[in-house]
Chains A and B, each alone.
Chain A
Amino acid sequence: MLRAILVALIAATPAMARDTGRIFVSNERSHDVWVFSPDFEHIATIETSRRPRDMKLNADRTLLYVACGDDDVIEVIDVETLEIVDSIPTGPSPEVFEFSPDESLIYVSNEEDSMLEIIEVDSRIVIHDVATGAEPEGVITSEDGSTVYVTSEVADMVHVIDTEAGAVIDNIIVGTRPRRFILTPDTNELWVSAELSSEICIIDRARLEIKEVLQFLPPGFRPEDVTPVGMALTADGARGYISLGRANHVAVIDGFTHELIDYVLVGRRAWSIALTRDETLAVVVNGLSDDITLIDTASLRPIRSIPVGQVPHTVVIDD
């Protein structure tokens, strides 16, 4: 039924970006996705399956995929109508996922049974499971789709997975409780946030070795308060934004030299970060204060905090 609607929808309207400018925030505890207009008016609440976490737009930005951890499903939201139009079953407790470059596959970490699951989007078939260390979390695909990187929060490592072979080909030992990734556009770096050792490990992708470790300390905080998770990078790779979790700040760094530019005060336990396409605003999700903070990227000042649902997880912007 749902698929029929989806097919009909796709047939009726040529797939193209609507450029709605809408901002989507998933809320783990209230089991919904809040939708904001480009001027941050709350315009809709989409009820999802339980515990929505990571979200990704497809390439033409018509569909928003939402991993719902407690119902073992990735739901698909039409970005324009804001209806749930499809759902893709996954293994237990999907947390973070990524598409292959041609969007034919979804790579999803299953936190509960320590697997990276590879799902064929069209057929819904799990074509492969790759065993990972306990509590896999961050997932990112290389630009050419040949490699997937996955963190294991418990084993403190990044698994390097060859997608052709469907096998782990290397493991890189990083800091404590590694979480999320960023790929830099042209410096061939993989950034990994290590939440409990308060570090960003910068991996040289050619050698698969850590080449630099970044640490942050906003004024008035202690090293153990700094629990980095979310990261965002400008399209040219020139500037990075790193959320510092319990230290309630975002660190802004030079994407090439990795030098600190500034700290910006945000809400409690800052996690996910997204940039608007014109990169004038950074939107930061604050998991313990149930709000988002908007940062003006020119002045590097927080300009507004806006309430969202309970325990917000991820922000995605369609603009």
Chain B
Amino acid sequence: MRIVIIIAFALWSSIAAAQEVVSIALLGLDPDPRYDEAIAYARIENGRQGDPQIAARMAMEDLLLLTDARGVNIGFSAVRVADEAALPTATRQLADSGNRYLILDLPAKEADAVAVALGPNGPLLINTTAPEDWLRRRCHARMLHTAASDRMIADALVQHFVKMRWERVLVLHGKTDRDIARAASFAEAAARFRLRIVATREFDLSTNPALREQNNVALLTGDIREYDAVFIADSFGEFSRYLPYRTALPRPVVGATDLVPLEWHWSLERYGAPQVNSRFETAVGDSRRMTWQDWSVWIAMRALLTAEAKSLERDPNAIEAFLRSDALRLDGSKGAQLSFRPWDNQLRQPILLATANAIIGMAPLEGFLHQTNTLDSLGVDAPEFACD
């Protein structure tokens, strides 16, 4: 049976004109400091659960019939280097060996360094796991982003606040740059909808009595007359997991625990998402579930393959123009047509508001409108966007 199909495709492919190989590489760190197990205290799920390159391979398998039918041959390799110092050489080698696209699974600083090193004539880069707003404002012409930006994540949550009329917010954050950036993005998003941030406080993980205002939950969340919800930015997850049900006022805790805005979650039941999750779980084989990082790599590969197969072009510049255009109409199994925003090269996409086992909402929430595309109610819009 398979043989018959393969023969059919072989015939088809032989008719197709050029049989060039389109090379795509995934570049990452191993170990990646963002997922250092030493950071998290005790077995908590700290970020992603495994290497997302499996998601890139799954996207290739998903679209194999399509790329075959168009005579597009894909070569894929995954390269992980030990540290930042090894990145420039690895990057240069990947570019010199003819990779047309690099899928980056790197922290923002390293992704930025790769873009600077390759310059305006290098391969097209897709940032899949760095949500930092500042990386968008760097305006690298040859970098697209499938990771949702911090601001998109914050806007999704703020839409839920507005819908629920949680108008007074206590903001908590950790000491790291990531936590401070997340809290700042939340503040920007909150300002757009005139939510009132009643206090912004930094928490501390120690039990040092001298720091009890920061490490005692009752004190940290007390001495405020009223708030409707607590937003916490905590990329390690160690503090936030002990916060719910202990706040001085009995209020929901969101952001890094309980209700978390994410690109993807296993419990999404609509739009073909269950099929994507089950294909992933079959492919990965060790019963781990598809995380937002996996989805982000999967959609990056899907975007590239879709542009290669559906643009009806062979000229790389024309394929890239299609990839960046509204005609891409990418399906990410979130029920919306996805495409890249021209002003910040960011993939527009719905954001899930997930608990441990349910999707509470999917932003843009109903009633949040935009003059051209409701997905642009999430993230920095064209008129507000400026490069650094």
Contact = CB atoms under 8 A, between A and B. Distances in A.
A6 interface: no
A133 B329 contact: no
Contacts of A154: 62-63, 272, 331
Interface residues of B, number: 30
A153 B373 contact: no
Contact of A167 (B5, B66, B309): B5
B63 A167 contact: no
A133 B279 CA distance: 12
A167 B375 CA distance: 41
A175 B375 CA distance: 21
Q: Which of B62, B309, B331 has the most CB of A within 10 A?
A: B331
Contacts of B1: 128-131, 166-167
B331 A167 contact: no
A171 B65 contact: yes
A156 B66 contact: yes
A58 interface: no
Contacts of A134: 61-62, 275, 279
Given A131-B1, A131-B5, A173 B337 contact: no
A166 B1 CA distance: 8
Contact of A196 (B5, B12, B279, B331): B331
Contacts of B278: 112
B279 A167 contact: no
A176 B331 contact: yes
A133 B64 CA distance: 8
B66 A111 contact: no
Contacts of A135: 272, 275
Contacts of B309: 173
Contacts of B310: 156, 173
Give the most central of B69, B330, B373: most A CB within 10 Å: B69
A153 B5 CA distance: 19
Looking at A131, A169, A196, which has the most chain B CB atoms within 10 Å of its CB? Answer: A196
Contact of A112 (B63, B275, B331): B275
Of A129, A135, A154, A170, the most chain B CB neighbours within 10 A belong to A154
Nearest to B69: A171
Contacts of A197: 329, 337
A170 B375 CA distance: 36
B205 interface: no
A173 B336 contact: no
Interface in B275-307: 275, 278-279, 306
A212 B335 CA distance: 25
Nearest to B59: A154
Nearest to B338: A196
A111 B373 contact: no
B4 A133 contact: no
A168 B335 CA distance: 29
A177 interface: yes
Contacts of B4: 165-168
Interface in A136-183: 152-157, 159, 165-171, 173, 175-177
B338 to A, nearest CB: 9
Given A112-B278, A168-B8, A169-B8, A176 B337 contact: yes
Candidate in B63, B275, B309, B330 with the most chain A CB atoms within 10 angstroms? B275
A155 B62 contact: yes
A173 B70 contact: yes
Interface string B63-100: 11110011000000000000000000000000000000
A128 B309 CA distance: 30
B307 to A, nearest CB: 12
Contacts of B272: 135, 153-154, 177
Contacts of B192: none
Contact of A173 (B5, B69, B373, B375): B69
A159 B68 CA distance: 13
A173 B66 contact: yes
A177 B5 contact: no
A198 B335 CA distance: 12
Contact of A155 (B66, B275, B336, B373): B66
A177 B336 CA distance: 11
A135 B373 CA distance: 28
A207 interface: no
A3 interface: no
A195 to B, nearest CB: 8
A224 B337 contact: yes
B215 to A, nearest CB: 45
Nearest to A245: B335
A160 to B, nearest CB: 10
B2 interface: yes
Interface in A99-137: 111-112, 128-135
Nearest to B373: A224
Contacts of A155: 62-66
A295 to B, nearest CB: 25
Given A134-B62, A196-B336, 8 more contacts: A133-B64, A152-B65, A154-B272, A155-B63, A156-B66, A157-B65, A165-B4, A167-B5
Pick the 6 closest A-B CB pairs, nearest first.
A167-B4, A133-B65, A197-B329, A155-B66, A176-B329, A155-B65
Interface of A: 93, 111-112, 128-135, 152-157, 159, 165-171, 173, 175-177, 196-198, 222, 224, 227, 246
30 contacts: A112-B275, A128-B1, A130-B1, A131-B1, A131-B2, A132-B65, A133-B62, A133-B66, A134-B279, A135-B275, A153-B272, A154-B63, A155-B66, A156-B66, A157-B65, A157-B66, A157-B69, A167-B4, A167-B5, A167-B8, A168-B5, A173-B66, A173-B69, A173-B70, A173-B310, A176-B337, A177-B331, A222-B373, A222-B374, A224-B375
Interface of B: 1-2, 4-5, 8, 12, 61-66, 69-70, 272, 275, 278-279, 306, 309-310, 329-331, 335-337, 373-375
